[in-house]
Chain A
């Protein structure tokens, strides 16, 4: 189980109803996390991943910040998630 800080910006906060949260998950990759969040917040996944091919929507931005480091835009859906990382969804 890892703990993540999830931050929802602008229109994303419309889907979630909240600006940010601390979230515990067993998801090991960004792809898995998006699937989980889609269960909680209907329509979440489709903002970031195309419904046809499943690839990352390059018109949206997910910043991934490992603990103690600077945030960078996520490129790989299969990249692992670290405990205490922060993700900003935009």
Chain B
């Protein structure tokens, strides 16, 4: 298996190199033969990488401990499900998955453009191959998953206990990778547009759907990570402002800004330069994130093992930054498009505002994450930047963003009929005000909470109202096609509604809950969060890879009411020096009752629990889900080509602003 894998990686490397050369030559010379050859090569690379991944999978399932990666990350006692997960548990193996997904995307691009392709296509393919080349060099060089051990041990070390505690580990990394790696495609087309020269701004239309799909993947990946942190790690929260978490958020923010400012370019021909900057920034941030995560610069729960890849990632990042922004700087004079605004109360201005806020958030998070590094490099002083800093710094940005999202969908493109639009805001503002007052009465302790709920309500009602009105109008006129045609708008509105729900969840769970720590003897009860909890004892279960100590907490709301059972657990893994806790959560529409056990005394005669009463956490998951559905809806829309009365194609179809005087 090791030889098969190793050989396959070398073959893939050679093929990718050839593909890059062929694609760039095809772009330079314009000869279709080169381009076609490069296209076919992408399928070949995909095939080889699939085989290589399968080889590693077979090695893991077959307990081939001669391979160092298998010996370090799997063991005979590991359940099959987690053996499969071991493929991406650690650095080297996850690079295999990374290469697979990247090859998959390149293959998809090759497939998508099999019949016809835009002029920027050869260069884009070349850039894609170049990126694949880097990751294949990495996996053939500093990070070698198929490295063998001189003497194969009898049993492997097994995966890190934290990673095999929960099946969510199955889906969080793949979606995250799909989201990250997917940014390579818009980036490649952006670079291709820069290389091909001015007049090639069709690239934005081409990759809008790709970027939307990638955005959806990344949203899912981030949400799953938060869900894992909440449901598995046992500290009662879902986002710790861990450096690795932060850098994963950065491309998401930039791509959200991009998806909005794309509308400026498509409708008004503005922001061409800016969109290129955004797409390069998204890819650069993703590369930076990879560097930070795997390059061993900061320590975190996501820290991969020590490896020589750090300098390689830094080098790649430098190439990306110099090449990408250098090209932009070179082409800058020919890219500047006139910005034309009729008034500040227009959708265009709102999009500028959107970009300002999202990029401020990006800059704040980036600065906060790298500040300890920078300060230490410059002055030797060691500071730390954690959750309170980020929460305080981003709260105003979030609030301004909510205000914008709650009013901007009302704004027209260009200025027309302003007073009528303002009337549509009456219901949202009314509801938001009522919610604010209700929140204040219900005991929102801080002004941020009450105001935040009001703003979230504003967002939900404004966008929900528009969504409902549009759908009802289409149904009334029996225009089935209208729903599909307007998918982009309805999808966007749904994403905004999801954002409102998410924001409400974030505000609720950031400080309106309560927590308590209590030691209970068997049979003893405590009152918490309006419930009575009684410790009913401990059971021990032995599983092949761990021993599980399960405590039982019965929860009652009062005499005669139904009893819920919470079962927080302590998992003892032979590889871990301390037990790993698993919390038990009773989820409800508003409140979560969350219990984790952090200590046992005298074989379970008494136990120490941490109890949380968290509001709004489920709204976070629902909000994220709505955002993903909205994103998919927006990508699914298709607009027919409509014919104008005198036989010209519908100007809506044309993306390049035509001379209006010509008729």
Asked if A and B bind, the verdict is: no
A residues adjacent to B (C-beta < 8 A): none
